[in-house]
Amino acid sequence: MPRAKNQPAPAPESVEAMIDRRYGFAAGRGRGLAANPVLTAILGRGSCRQFRRQAVPAPLLEAVLAAAQSSGSKSDLQACSVVVLRDRARCRRLAAACASPWLAAAPVLLVFCADMRRHRRTCARHGLPFAQDNLDGWLNACVDAALALQAALIAAEGSGLGGCPVSAVRNALGPVSALLRLPPGVFPLLGLALGYPAAPASVAMRLPPAAVLHEEFYRDCPEAELRAYDARRHAREPIPPAKQKRTELYGRASKCTWSLNVARQLSVTERADLTAFLRARGFNP
């Protein structure tokens, strides 16, 4: 609702408060730190899967794509390529191939690819062998593509857009590669749906620092921390029945915590055909 003229603007949330919201408890981190637009955008972000019809202006998309290319790149190898889809029919075909119907309504779909083809061509142009055509080279290219996606997403969110990464493009590697006409050596790592959000982002609760951050060396975090996270998260963001994983195997749980859902998901192998696909598409994993 718009603010009345004589009402003061709400005080910007402190960094500490934003961090507390992210963790779901008073973590006492970032105390006294002044907020800035980048921290505010990142700490308050959430994935967006519902978009207004409004088109993304071309200069904004160009800036988002330049931001993607501004991310760091392993050894400056620049191993990422991005396919930009705006044609509605093609967006619908990608959504259908990935079995992700919500994608069809995203005004822009980007597909971030790990591109080893350009490296192969570069070596060939200079008459040198492409000896780094291996698993490490593929991993480096995937890391470049993932970092580029994240830079694009942060730039988009900071500019009022919403977005969501899409690993579902890898659910249909063959059809997606065919739709995008990806040649051998170009791997569709992740999609990114972008558009103006239909609703404000919600902040998903993350694991506590005690579970993720390690001072000086790694220690397994106490089970109690993980159980407490499950309880906090279930109280604030219970997983709705429709979002429970693998109900065909395990049925619906009366209380499906985050860790139960993770365990259910990881109990089944996904994309077992990945290595075979890579070999067939000119990679040497």
Asked if 179 is part of the footprint of ligand FMN (rule: CB under 6 A), the reply reads: no
* Site pattern 82..121 for ligand FMN (x: CB under 6 A): ------------------x---------------------
Helices (H), 101-199: 117-125, 135-158, 173-179
Copy the structure tokens of residue 78. 């620049």
* Site pattern 116..155 for ligand FMN (x: CB under 6 A): ----------------------------------------
| One-letter amino acid for residue 16 of the chain | E
Closer by beta carbon to ligand FMN, 95 or else 119: 95
Asked if 167 is part of the footprint of ligand FMN (rule: CB under 6 A), the reply reads: yes
Asked if 185 is part of the footprint of ligand FMN (rule: CB under 6 A), the reply reads: no
Asked if 176 is part of the footprint of ligand FMN (rule: CB under 6 A), the reply reads: no
Asked if 162 is part of the footprint of ligand FMN (rule: CB under 6 A), the reply reads: no
Choice from 14, 40, 47, 159 touching ligand FMN (CB under 6 A): 47
What does the alpha-carbon distance between residue 119 and residue 276 come to, in Å, rounded to a whole number? 22
Buried b (16+ CB within 10 A) or exposed e, 145-162: bbbbbbbbbbbbbbeebb
Asked if 207 is part of the footprint of ligand FMN (rule: CB under 6 A), the reply reads: no
The residues binding ligand FMN (CB under 6 A) are: 46-47, 49, 100, 164-168, 190, 204
